[in-house]
Amino acid sequence: MIERTLFREEHEIFRRSVRKFMEREIVPHHDSWEETGVVPRELWRKAGAEGLLCCTVPEEYGGLGLDYLFDVVVFEELWRVGASGPGFLIHTDLVASYILGFGTEEQKRTWLPKMVSGEAIGSLGMTEPHAGSDLKAIRTRAVRDGDDYVINGQKVFISNGQLCDIIVLATKTDSQGGAKGISLFLVEGDRPGFKRGRNLSKLGMRAQDTSELFFEDVRVPAANRLGAEGQGFPIMMTKLAQERLAQAVRSAVVAETVIDWTVDYTANREAFGKTIADFQNTQFKLAELKTEATIARVFTDKCIELFMNGRLDATDAAMAKLWTSTLHCKVVDECLQLFGGWGYMWEYPIARAYADARIVKIAGGSVEIMKTIIAREMFKDHLGSRRRSE
């Protein structure tokens, strides 16, 4: 098998520590979190104490100042144990990243140390009932009033929504400005007028709290704006490749893990006097899936390398997400079939993996959007010349 060469010894030492944390603090309790639809805040503080949150945040803001691969290790080990909660990825990879990249010095010093320790939980407020992948269509408004902005609107499908202490919120500050009318704000979870709606009941990812959020005349100071007014859309665009890479990392790990579960199960489960692994159909099916998963792994690791060198572009990230998310769903479906009726039982991890998988073709941009991005790059010269001739 192809050896992974991204990680150094210090990453693997950290991985062993993270794996122990998962086995001790998450695996024994995950069933109950799926029932309640949320993880306890105490888990976040424990993760912070172990150095699992926001690994790349510099020491001056309370972090460890490590490279991105340490965050990757945490994400991989979460998904390796099938943990649909907690929402460390949103907190670490997006919210903290937005604040670190575009926040003022005061914003960084106020929030990043708390996010590193797990004292404050971050959430990203972008999706609305009428605006999913089309971020330009958001309706939540922020109107300037003296030294403040007054925010009204609604968000939906918001991960960490029930627990969040700080939200990176996308709003319209100019309703006629299209993409140039979008601004981002940091909104504290205890602001008057901010209300948490239902903890939504989902097909999968049931331990991850996912909420409706409502903003009714929420007043925030102008100092809470993240970046310049009207610059929200360009700022969000800078993070899309990173978000899609994280989705690819998840799908690559889950595909490998599910295949391993299936090899173990079929090697021990008997039917018609021999193990299921003895049947040629089983061997051929798993051989195909293993090959495709290895392709996904090699490409995803290459994209991680490109990202760390500042060279991962939107098209490569879109291809990574398209390939891995499609494979993710294929692997859990075909592997569940090899588990037979037991694969349909919730007590088996493969059943949970099947339920959790479907979101990956939607989250972080749907596969249709990924295809559009890829095709646009492929045909950009042709379409450009045609427009000029018209």
Catalytic residue among 76, 243, 256, 292: 243
- On the CB side of 207, how many CA atoms lie within 13 Å of its CA? 24
**What is the C-alpha R_g of the chain?**
22
In the numeric block, the tokens 């969040």 are attached to 164
Q: By the 8 A CB rule, do 364 and 244 touch? A: yes
Report the C-alpha gap between 346 and 380 in whole angstroms. Answer: 47
Cα–Cα distances in Å, from 312 out to 253, 365, 380? 20, 17, 19
- Of the candidates 66, 70, 69, 49, the one whose C-alpha atom is nearest the C-alpha of residue 57 is 66
CA distance 115 to 92: 8
The yes-or-no answer on residue 305 being catalytic is: no
User: Which position has the token pair 């010269």?
Assistant: 381
Residue linked to tokens 């993760």 = 47
Residue type (1 letter), 217: D
Query: 198 and 186 in contact (C-beta within 8 Å)?
Result: no
Residue 128 per-residue DSSP state: B
How many other CB atoms are there within 10 angstroms of residue 343's CB atom?
A: 21
Residues annotated as catalytic (active site), given as ranges: 243
